Amino acid sequence: MYSDKVMDHFSNPRNVGAMENPDGVGQVGNAKCGDIMKIYLKIEDEVIVDVKFQTFGCAAAIASSSMATELIKGKTVDEALQVTNKAVAEALEGLPPAKVHCSLLAEEAIHAAIMDYRMKGDGSVENIKSCSGCCNACGMNEVETEHDEVG
């Protein structure tokens, strides 16, 4: 059912835990399945120098959070904004169709954390893609967007 990569990130999650004095925090959730993801960012000169996550959810949610942190660590904020749920799922070597929403939560958590960072700084949020509205972290829950799905 799950790839070896998913099982590895579930059994040995990277960058797990809370962060003291983060520059940005994003929390998203899915009311249908109960998954909740929280991502913390430490940013220096627009580069994500550290990232942590806390996730309450299934194996796919934990693995998606872990992989998402690996994909954005060391990247610029703008590069991190380009990480999609499709990229997370592909890096995990696929997710079952019923679990693709976990990779979407990871993408939205990244965006919510960056939005928080930008709102604390210069307030510029124009490059942040609006969310699907499932958690209202971005305050744009009435905007519908299409997300790539990977099976």
Q: For the chain, what are the domain ranges?
A: 4-120
Would you call 134 a catalytic residue per the annotation? no
Q: Counting Cβ atoms within 10 Å, is residue 58 exposed (0-12), middle (13-18) or buried (19+)?
A: middle
- Residue 84, pLDDT > 50, answer yes
Q: How far apart are CA 99 and CA 108, in angstroms?
A: 15
Contact 94, 50 (CB under 8 A): no
* Token couple for 82: 């380009």
User: pTM score, two decimals?
Assistant: 0.82
Look up the CATH number of domain 4-120.
Answer: 3.90.1010.10
Would you call 58 a catalytic residue per the annotation? no
Share of the chain above pLDDT 70, in %: 80
- Residue 98, pLDDT > 80, answer yes
In the structure, what pLDDT confidence band is assigned to residue 77 with cuts at 50, 70 and 90?
very high
Catalytic residue among 102, 131, 135, 138: 102
The tokens 């309450």 sit on which residue?
56
- Residue 126, pLDDT > 70, answer no
